[in-house]
């Protein structure tokens, strides 16, 4: 009976080590995740519902949560290209370098500029860090 209990403990330890190995093998992390946080409180009515594109893939939308006009998107460590897509506004690429466990906060803004070739004004979405 004592041997059965010992075998069960070793089996439980081996199973735990195996699960932990799979966790790290498939990208698990024990630290804080890397996050790009986009604050759209300057123009909440304009940006509410706009799509967010990171590295060429749409990853979600900007949505109000109560009084909060901020959305966070998990990313891997490294350099990323962020764009906010809006049907009526042009979008500027925003480049950001996210370190391990870091939360990068971007504040959306709108900038008007004049295009001399088309003789039109356009509004471009940009960000401040």
In this predicted model, what pLDDT tens digit does every residue of 52-105 receive, in sequence order? 999 999 999 999 888 888 899 999 999 999 999 988 888 888 999 999 989 999
What Rg do the C-alpha atoms of the chain give, in angstroms?
23
Number of domains in the chain: 2
Verify that 54 and 107 share a domain, yes or no: yes
Verify that 54 and 83 share a domain, yes or no: yes
CATH number at residue 39: 2.60.40
Verify that 107 and 92 share a domain, yes or no: yes
Residue by residue, DSSP assigns 40-52 as -TTSHHHHTT-EE
Verify that 7 and 62 share a domain, yes or no: no
Q: What is the pLDDT of residues 3-52, one digit of tens each?
A: 677 778 878 887 888 887 777 777 666 667 899 999 999 888 888 999 99
Verify that 2 and 45 share a domain, yes or no: no
Please give the residue range of the domain that contains residue 3.
1-30
The encoded tokens of residue 103 equal: 């939360």
Verify that 62 and 96 share a domain, yes or no: yes
């Amino acid at each position: 009976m004592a041997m059965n209990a010992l075998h069960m403990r070793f089996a439980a330890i081996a199973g735990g080590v195996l699960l932990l190995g799979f966790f790290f093998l498939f990208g698990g992390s024990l630290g804080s995740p890397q996050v790009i946080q986009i604050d759209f409180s300057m123009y909440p009515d304009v940006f509410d519902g706009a799509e967010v594109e990171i590295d060429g893939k749409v990853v979600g939308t900007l949505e109000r949560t109560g009084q909060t006009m901020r959305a966070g998107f998990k990313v891997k460590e490294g350099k990323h290209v962020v764009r906010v897509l809006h049907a009526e506004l042009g979008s500027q690429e925003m480049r950001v370098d996210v370190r391990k466990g870091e939360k990068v906060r971007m504040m959306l803004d709108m900038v008007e500029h004049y295009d001399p070739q088309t003789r039109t004004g356009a509004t471009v979405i940009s960000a401040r860090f």
